[in-house]
Every structure is written in C-alpha cells, then in structure tokens.
A and B are shown apart, each in its own frame.
Chain A
Amino acid sequence: MELFIQQVINGLSLGGIYALIALGYTMVYGIIELINFAHGDVYTLGSFFSLAIIGLLDASGELKGWPLFGVLALTVVGAMVLCGLVGVLLERLAYRRLRNAPRLAPLITAIGASFILENIMQLWKGPSPIPFPSVVPNVVWSFHGVNLASNELLVVLAALGLMTILQIFIYNTKLGKAMRATAQDRDAAQLMGININMTIALTFFIGSALAGVGGFVSGVYYGSTWFYNGFEAGLKAFTAAVLGGIGNVAGAMLGGFVIGMIESLTAGFISDQWATVAVFVLLVLVLIFRPSGLLGEVLPDKV
C-alpha cells in the first residue's frame, strides 16, 4: 500500500511535467494542425535557460525569504520569456511559410527544427548531463513510510495553476477568443478583423513559455538536465496530448497526469524498464480504440 501511494505521488509530479509540455503540443495543434516536434527541445531549453539565469544571478548558495523568491521569480519568468521567443522564432522562420503546404512538409520541418535545437544545446553545454543547482530548498515530509517532497508539490501546483490560468485566458479574454476563432476558421477570423499571424505567434509564445516552466521545474525535480532530455519527454508529452484528445487543453492536462501515473506505477510494480513501454503501448491502444482521445478533439464541450 505504501508503495502504491508513493508511486501515485511520483506519478503525479512526473505527470505535472508531461502536462506542462503537452499543453504546448495541443495548443499548437489546435490552431494550425501541426505536431511541433521541436516542442520537447524547447522544454529542454527551458532548463538550460534557467541554469544560465541562476548562474548569472550567482544564486547557487542557500537562499531564504525574499532573495529566494526574487531569484525564483526571475528564473521562471526569464525562462518563460526566452522559451516563448524561441517558439515565436520557430514559427516565424520555419512554419509560417509552410502554413498552406501539404501537411507532411511542416511535420518534417518540425523534426529538422528539433535536431537543430538539440545540436545547439549540445554545443552550448556539452553532451553529458549537467547538475541543476538546488536553489529551491526541498523539504521532505514522511507519513507511515510515504514520502512527500515539496519539490513534487511544486511541480503539481505549477502545472495545475498554469492550466487554470490558461483556461481562463482562452475562454474569457479577447485574445483567447481570437485564438479559438483562428483555430476554427482562419479566413473568417481574419475577415472579422483578427490578425491571425499575431494570434498564431501568440499561441506559440504561450505554449513554449509553458514548456519553459516545465524545463525549470524538471530541473528542480530531477536535479539535472541534458541536451537530449526533450526527446523522450517530448514524445511522452505528445502521447499525453493524444491521449487527452489533441487540440484540447484540459485533455492535455489529464493525459499528462495519466501518463505520469502509468509510468510510475509500471516502474513500481513491474519494472523500471517497462515503464516507457507501457506508455507507448497505451499510445497505440488509444490510436486504435479512441483516436479522438479521452476528452475528444478540439473542445471539451463539443456537442
């Protein structure tokens, strides 16, 4: 029983990271029907940018109170903005010209973009894992043999909080409405006065910024990062997005947590090596039996 609860806690925090990445996949797919395979690498970039910012602030020591809060805020916001800009740049340079091209062309381009980002990161920090400084103090609570770390809580709260903000943004603001309008009918949206290039760029910005947060919390959670991190995490997050129903924000979140849970429960009760297998078997099953995902495509409230 303790093992089960422990693995559920691990699964939730793992799932929080997948969910943060999956949001970006699903948003971009929702608006231009592109599977942005470079998205996983934007997530890795998030941890690299966080590292760089923490390095610049020289904040590897033991911090408390306001200075700690300041460093965290600067790191998270910095990573979000930088990743957001990378996303916008990708869209502008690589995908915009291909918007009306056959769908295979942008897909291949996305894979190419992924390679480019991975290689840039490898040149930047080298090919081996890099330790992530423990700027965030990690407190571990124990009840009856079950451990709950504050870092795990941080991951889950960050994911849930950001998704709530995102939902409010999409359903209750002018720009969110512009995004939904663009997703549903690009020409009509444009003729209603919506600048679709701006709206698509904004979608990339928000999705990539969320991946940036994911990169930061994963660095804190795992205590390390490396240039190839985003490949597997990206594939699993993509699986999460498909599982939840690609194009569907709430679905991506749900999918992320389900994937995290399956991975950690498999690791706990069967074996570590089977965890990834279980995730991708699930992807295959979803594609066969419920191709539109748990919550259906595009909108949860589709009639």
Chain B
Amino acid sequence: MSFFALKNVTKTFGGLVAVKEVSYEIEQGHIAAMIGPNGAGKSTAFNLVTGLYVPTAGEIEFDGRSIAGNKPDYVCKLGVARTFQNIRLFAFMSAVENVMAGCHVRMSAMLWDSLLHTGRQKREERAVREKALDLLRFVSLDRYADDFAHNLPYGFQRRLEIARALASDPKLLLLDEPAAGMNPREKEDLMTLIRKIRDRGITVFLIEHDMGLVMNISEKIAVLDHGEKIAEGTPAQVRNDAKVIEAYLGKTA
C-alpha cells in the first residue's frame, strides 16, 4: 500500500459524474498538486478524501488503510487535515481558540474532567494553548492570537486556517486553493510556508488555480478536466502536455 492513493475513484451526483475513475498516488513527504479548470472535480476529490462524500466506486488509501466512506472526524483523527477554498474559520472565536479547536482530536480530557474542572483538564488546556500559540508563531500570526478570526485580514485568515489544520497533527495536509485572492508578495510567503510544512514531515496535497505557484513548489501534478485525469507528472511534463494545454487554452485552430 502506498502512503496516499486514490484508486479508480468515481463520484456521481444523480446523472452528473463529478469525478470519474481518478487514480493518483502521493509519496510521503512530497508536495503534490491537483489542477484543472473550474468544475473539473478537484474540490469533490478533496471532499471524498476527507469523508464529506462517500465515493460511488473506487478506493482511497491512506497510511496503510482504506479510508473511503469514513466519517470526517475519524479521517481527521487518522491524520488528514484540510483548509477550505472559501475560508471557514470559526468567526466568533479568537485566532488562538480556532487553533485550539483544531487540537480537539489530540486531547484526552473526558466530559467528566470538563465538568469537574479537574487538574488533568486544566493542564491539558494549558498545554494545548501553548501548542496553539506555537503554531500561530509558525504561521507568523502570534501577534493576533486574541483577535477574532473574522476581524483578521484575508491573507491572515488563510494562514490561520492552515495553523488550525496543523493543530490536529496531520500526516497529510490538504490545501484547497490556498493562494486564492492573494497578492504576489503573499503568494511568495505562502510558498515558503508550504515548504516549511513539508520540512516538518507533513505531506502536502493542494488544489490550486495559480499555475506559477503550483509549478514552483509541486513535485508532482495531476490535471483534471471534466472529472477525468488527463495528465500526471512533474511540472515540466505537465506544462508541455498537449491535452493540458488544450484544456486550459482551448484547441488551436
């Protein structure tokens, strides 16, 4: 079994085939991307991996087990975390609380501890707060720890979402269009951040529209069009693939 693999995954919604027999393997410690025009099925693929959708057919392997059809919170527990295309932070929690919420699955306090406010609960709460602050430092947001998430500038919210995802100690991090709406400067920072995450030993799988960013940091790219994988390879291979050029630019006359 490979570290992470989609195997002939298909997802249909009624008569609509959103993802059709897609296979894609990612090695541990790599940065891999999935690109494709709007509506190509990229986000559907992410929702299948994280358990929001159950595949109509096919297998999803992660870290030695099949995870297709598992509940999202369980998939998260196994070590898959994600961010969202349209930011979905807990708007009325502070930045640090958002990250602490991400730690949820790695905490062991029981209802009992919470209600009685036991020593164990307090210790854990303190440790998690420390960890959350560390992660905020990692994404350079420590100065905004006590600000409400929805008061942060857009680019910061994106980074905060990444910190929240990292809080669950994932082995695989899914980034759904992390560069959307960012200026060139912010994109630079984002690339540095993604590399730093990879250097922590976390495998990164991203969906992105921004070709520059994808070509720059990915070791491997899959291209989706109308739910089907039309190409796969290194950035150089994909860039020169005739089908890819056609999907993006249309047929040349």
Contact = CB atoms under 8 A, between A and B. Distances in A.
Interface of A: 165, 168-169, 172-178, 180-181, 184-185, 187-196, 202, 298-299, 301-303
B52 A187 contact: yes
Contacts of B90: 180-181, 184-185, 188-189
A165 B115 CA distance: 8
B92 A184 contact: yes
Contact of B50 (A168, A191, A298): A191
B50 A192 contact: no
Given A174-B124, A196-B73, 14 more contacts: A174-B104, A185-B88, A188-B89, A189-B101, A190-B73, A191-B73, A191-B81, A192-B101, A192-B165, A193-B76, A193-B102, A193-B105, A194-B104, A299-B92
Contacts of B111: 175, 202
B237 interface: no
Contact of A175 (B72, B89, B114): B114
Contact of A188 (B71, B84, B113): B84
A180 B97 CA distance: 10
A177 B100 CA distance: 8
A4 to B, nearest CB: 39
Given A173-B114, A194-B73, A303-B148, A187 B104 contact: no
B97 A192 contact: no
B124 A191 contact: no
Interface string B54-73: 00000000000000000111
A254 B113 CA distance: 28
A189 B73 CA distance: 8
Given A188-B90, A196-B73, A172 B125 contact: yes
The 6 closest A-B pairs by CB, nearest first: A193-B105, A193-B76, A173-B114, A188-B88, A190-B72, A184-B90
A54 to B, nearest CB: 24
B117 to A, nearest CB: 7
DSSP class of A's interface residues: helix, strand, loop or mixed?
helix
A49 to B, nearest CB: 20
Interface of B: 50, 52, 71-73, 76-77, 81-82, 84, 88-93, 97, 100-102, 104-105, 107, 109, 111, 113-115, 117, 121, 124-125, 128, 148, 150-151, 164-165, 167-168
Given A184-B91, A302-B92, A303-B148, A177 B104 contact: yes
A23 B187 CA distance: 46
A193 B52 contact: no
A147 to B, nearest CB: 35
5 contacts: A173-B117, A180-B90, A180-B93, A191-B73, A194-B101
Nearest to B128: A174
A62 B93 CA distance: 50
A191 B101 contact: no
Contacts of A194: 73, 101, 104-105
A188 B73 CA distance: 10
A187 B97 CA distance: 17
B164 to A, nearest CB: 7
A180 B101 CA distance: 9
B125 to A, nearest CB: 7
B249 to A, nearest CB: 34
B92 A192 contact: no
Nearest to A178: B104
B92 A191 contact: no
Nearest to B50: A191
B168 A193 contact: yes
A174 B115 contact: no
Contacts of B77: 193
Given A178-B101, A192-B102, A184 B84 contact: no
A195 B148 CA distance: 24
Contacts of B72: 187, 190-191
B114 A174 contact: yes
A248 to B, nearest CB: 11
A188 B77 CA distance: 14
Contact of A192 (B71, B104, B151): B104
A191 B50 CA distance: 7
A174 B125 contact: yes
Contacts of B164: 192
A174 B107 contact: yes
Nearest to B80: A191
A193 B103 CA distance: 8
A174 B132 CA distance: 13
Contact of A195 (B73, B89, B128): B73
Nearest to B88: A188
A245 B248 CA distance: 51
B208 to A, nearest CB: 19
A22 to B, nearest CB: 20
